Amino acid sequence: MAQLYYKYGTMNSGKSFEIIKVAHNYEEQGKPVILFTPAIDDRAGKEWIGSRSGMSRKAIPVDEQTDLYEYVKSFQPEPGLKNVYCVLVDEAQFLKQRHILQLTRVVDELGIPVMAFGLKNDFQNRLFEGSYYLLIYADKIEEIKTICWYCDRKATMVIRFRDGVPVNEGEQIQIGGNEDYKPVCRRCYHKAFEPKVE
């Protein structure tokens, strides 16, 4: 039975690496997959998923007008291959509510499993729109773990930096890498914003 999976983790937890690995495993067995990535995230280039390990993979960019259900429903695999075996979504936190509902239709009406990978909370510890609705609608939720940048605890949050200084104000969405964000545990997150004693 097809299900909607939500696999979340902080920055640097290997989400993009995992999605590329899953796609490879399906395709090595001759089972076509569809990969989606939000158009807003162009760090690896438009239409690409890139991991910090250096691996990358072409994907379908998702913007405001993209209908994920209709795309999957009308997808034609290469000659000789059966229909889609799995739909994979990178950076799913950037999706809108309607995109998540379209993914539920892919699972429920087309019988195709969907694995969505992404962040859960932003640098202010608020849920992204996509992660909020994935937490509501996913059949299975799994955390991809990593360790804090500053200690050996599990990272559950992320700190945004501006010119090397931690900040907790600004727009929710700001695309960036290790120079802009670091995964941290709750203790180190709060410690970063304590007043400095001279």
Helix (H, G, I), strand (E, B) or coil at 69: helix
Determine contact, residues 103/89, Cβ cutoff 8 Å: yes
Determine contact, residues 118/91, Cβ cutoff 8 Å: yes
- Of 3, 42, 35, nearest to 19 (Cα)? 35
Determine contact, residues 8/140, Cβ cutoff 8 Å: no
Rounded to an integer, what distance in angstroms lies between the CA atom of residue 42 and that of residue 117?
16
Catalytic member of 91, 129, 179, 194: 91
Rounded to an integer, what distance in angstroms lies between the CA atom of residue 183 and that of residue 141?
20
Active site includes 64? no
Give the residue numbers marked as catalytic: 91
